[in-house]
Amino acid sequence: MSLLGRLFIRKNIVPPVVIAIVLLFSCILFPFTGKAVSFAPENKKAHILVAYSTKDGKVNEKVRMLDMLLSHFSTHIVFKSANDVKQNDLSGITHLFYYGAVQTKLPQSFRTLGNNFKGSYTVIGANVGQLKDFDFVDATSQIPVNALMLSNGRQRSLPETELIYNTHVDPPAKILIKGVNTNGDHPLLVAKGSRYYFARSDLDDLFSLFLAEGLHHIFNEKTLAVHPAYLRLEDVHPMADPKKLMAVAKFLEKKHIPYMVAVIPVFKDPKTHKEYHYSDAPKVVKALKYMQENGGSIVMHGYTHQYRDSETGEGFEFWDVKNNAPISGDAGANEKTPNQQTFNNAKSYKLFLQKQKRFEGHYINQKLTKGIQELTAQGLYPLAFEAPHYTMSLEGYNIVSHYFSTYVGQIQTSNKDWHVMRTAPFVTRPSFLNGMLLLPETIGYVPEKEKNGVEMMMKNASGQLIVKDGIVAGFYHPYLGIDRLKKLVNQMAKIPDIKWIDLKKLDNKVLAANVTITSGSNGLHVQSTLLPHGDQLKSLGDKLQKATLLVVLTLVGLGIVLFIFGMVRNKVLDREKELHGRV
């Protein structure tokens, strides 16, 4: 080894500044890529089989509600009728759930498979008496309750009296959640080892919240008490008041709160049938771009938010509300949608359904494509989708999943009735949404004529706190002005352990013809031939600026390193001369 190398090692004269510069330029040349924000425990080890009993043996809205709860903990979920479960269905399964939505006799094959299952086994609702592993539970009748209570004493009152199975529990089983009435407490969720029983079939309202909290115990998730939250500005279309939008934007910017803006690309006048696009409203676009650059994230809220002769923002778009059925024809078509009784035979009805699905698919694809493209052309980049009034068929959600990776709002869980609307208590990724991340809305909105609208929302928010990672999410119409918004934001900010969701920091992907939009830990990126001229120049300028900066910094860095190396080398040479002089 040379004298220079020996001195570097023995005398430890490698300057700290050299190390710092090397680290600095390593970061510049190889930037750290952080993990995108997540609000759901990513348990990759949990593999779930849900066996269910329903009237027709098919997945229905009740099973989909359970799907929304379980998909918070794992995306490895399979749903099968209890009549069809085979031994190989349990291969690799860590958590078995049986959901008795109706009273029925279970096949011996399923009972045997369940009894021999070694993993976590949870039964919900009816038919528990037929399962040997749950002989510690006796649920033969039902009893009314008017409140629910966790084992830590936290309690919430039900809007009206509800029934749960009157469960008698033998020790050493533990009671994790109770139903409460005037006569005392009654077991709702009980556990014995790896066996759990939830004494209620319908998972609606508070029951879904309390089961959601119980699932943390079932999956042994040590989730910290953090409540994700978002505020969505609703129904912002080209005819919105830009002054009110800017006032809202300035306020939220000052509060340093990220938020969402649900935009409608086209306003359609029901009287004149004239359409107004964002290209017709430069001041509104300017306000929206200001929002986008200062804490706001764009959510596409339909294309026209209306159907037939309804007004934009008021009407439905992806559901025929007059016939309470999926969209089956153009807005100008016959308003009466045929039903099964209209047809002479099953074959004719089947052909109609096939035609309806083809039309619906074309209708939704066209709307989504136009909306994404028109927004992008204005420099507005949607990161998620929200169906108008949350209404859409299950096939519609599947189509949306090919354009958006994230959905915002509540979910219509029935293909037959838009009133069957459900929300999840936390961020989740239900299997029936075909991979989309669901950011549910849970606390409602401020009605225009309701003086106590904010108080109503905060009451709803308190219910969400039952779940340790329950989401607190609602929306507000900017046309209401700034005063009630200030009150709402200030009240939401007081919620313990609240964490505002910044949609831009979540992993999102939006695809349409000639448009690709992504966001996450590396920021928001847009690839499109439709970008407005200014954004094209800005994008090109940013790339050139970054490339130039990288070259300049690299040259400067190398210069500094060489300079320091030269100084050290001169000192070493001087030291060599000094040593030779002594010899």
What are the tens digits of pLDDT across the range 565-575? 777 677 766 66
Judge whether residue 285 has pLDDT over 50: yes
Contact 194, 120 (CB under 8 A): yes
Higher-confidence position of 521 and 282: 282
What is the residue type of 246?
Answer: M
Per-residue pLDDT tens for 186-229?
Answer: 999 999 999 999 999 999 989 999 999 999 999 998 777 789 99
What is the residue type of 484?
Answer: R
pLDDT band at 540 (very low <50, low <70, confident <90, very high): very low
Q: How far apart are CA 151 and CA 168, in angstroms?
A: 17
Return the CATH fold of 48-218: Rossmann fold (3.40.50)
Per-residue pLDDT tens for 332-343?
Answer: 555 666 666 677
Higher-confidence position of 354 and 86: 86
Q: Would you state the pLDDT for residue 564?
A: 76
Q: Which helix (H) or strand (E) holds 462?
A: helix 453-464
- Smallest CA-to-CA distance from 236 within 276, 209, 271 is with 276
Q: Would you state the pLDDT for residue 181?
A: 95
Stretch among 5-9, 14-18, 118-122, 259-263 having the lowest mean pLDDT: 5-9
Task: Please state the rounded mean pLDDT for residues 119-130.
Answer: 97
- Smallest CA-to-CA distance from 506 within 76, 34, 45 is with 34
Judge whether residue 6 has pLDDT over 60: no
Q: How far apart are CA 426 and CA 519, in angstroms?
A: 21
Structure tokens at 94: 């860590």
Burial class of residue 101 (count of CB atoms within 10 Å of its CB; 0-12, 13-18, 19+): buried
Task: Please state the rounded mean pLDDT for residues 173-190.
Answer: 95
Contact 327, 307 (CB under 8 A): yes
Q: How far apart are CA 505 and CA 524, in angstroms?
A: 8
Q: Is the dihedral of CA 542, 543, 547, 548 positive or negative?
A: negative
DSSP of 120-182, one letter per residue? EEEEEES-GGG-GGGTTEEEEEEEEEEEEEETTS-EEEEEEEEEEEEEEE-TT-EEEEEEEET
Per-residue pLDDT tens for 69-84?
Answer: 999 999 999 999 999 9
Per-residue pLDDT tens for 471-520?
Answer: 999 999 999 999 999 999 999 999 999 999 999 999 999 999 999 999 99
Q: Would you state the pLDDT for residue 42?
A: 60
Q: Which helix (H) or strand (E) holds 562?
A: helix 533-582
Average pLDDT in the chain: 87
Q: Which helix (H) or strand (E) holds 575?
A: helix 533-582
Higher-confidence position of 254 and 14: 254
Contacts of 521-530 spanning 24+ positions with Cβ under 8 A? 521/33, 521/34, 521/35, 521/36, 521/37, 522/33, 524/381, 524/383, 526/376, 526/381, 528/376, 530/373, 530/376, 530/377
Q: Would you state the pLDDT for residue 11?
A: 40
Contact 76, 42 (CB under 8 A): no
Q: How many residues does the chain have?
A: 583
Residue with tokens 């934007």: 249
Q: Would you state the pLDDT for residue 127?
A: 97
- Smallest CA-to-CA distance from 372 within 242, 488, 509 is with 509
Higher-confidence position of 581 and 8: 581
- Smallest CA-to-CA distance from 500 within 457, 535, 471, 540 is with 471
The CATH number of domain 227-503, selected from 1.10.8.60, 2.60.40.10, 3.20.20.370, 3.40.50.1370: 3.20.20.370
Structure tokens at 96: 């078995």
Maximum Cα–Cα distance for the chain, whole Å? 116
Higher-confidence position of 564 and 318: 318
Q: Is the dihedral of CA 360, 365, 366, 371 positive or negative?
A: positive
Pure H helices in 190-298: 205-218, 242-254, 282-293
Task: Please state the rounded mean pLDDT for residues 537-555.
Answer: 59
Q: Would you state the pLDDT for residue 13?
A: 41
Judge whether residue 251 has pLDDT over 50: yes
pLDDT band at 41 (very low <50, low <70, confident <90, very high): low
Q: How far apart are CA 313 and CA 316, in angstroms?
A: 8
Q: How far apart are CA 400 and CA 438, in angstroms?
A: 12
In the chain, domain spans: 3-33+536-582, 48-218, 227-503
Stretch among 275-279, 296-300, 303-307 having the lowest mean pLDDT: 303-307
Q: How far apart are CA 188 and CA 207, in angstroms?
A: 10
Q: Would you state the pLDDT for residue 9?
A: 37
> What backbone phi and psi angles, to 5 degrees, belong to 495?
-65, 130
Stretch among 166-170, 306-310, 359-363 having the lowest mean pLDDT: 306-310
Higher-confidence position of 386 and 140: 386
Q: What is the CA radius of gyration of the chain?
A: 30
What is the residue type of 112?
Answer: T
> What backbone phi and psi angles, to 5 degrees, belong to 508?
-125, 150
Q: How far apart are CA 313 and CA 265, in angstroms?
A: 11
Structure tokens at 550: 């990288």
User: With DSSP H G I counted as helix, E B as strand and the rest as coil, what are the percentages for the chain, rounded to 5?
Assistant: 40, 25, 40
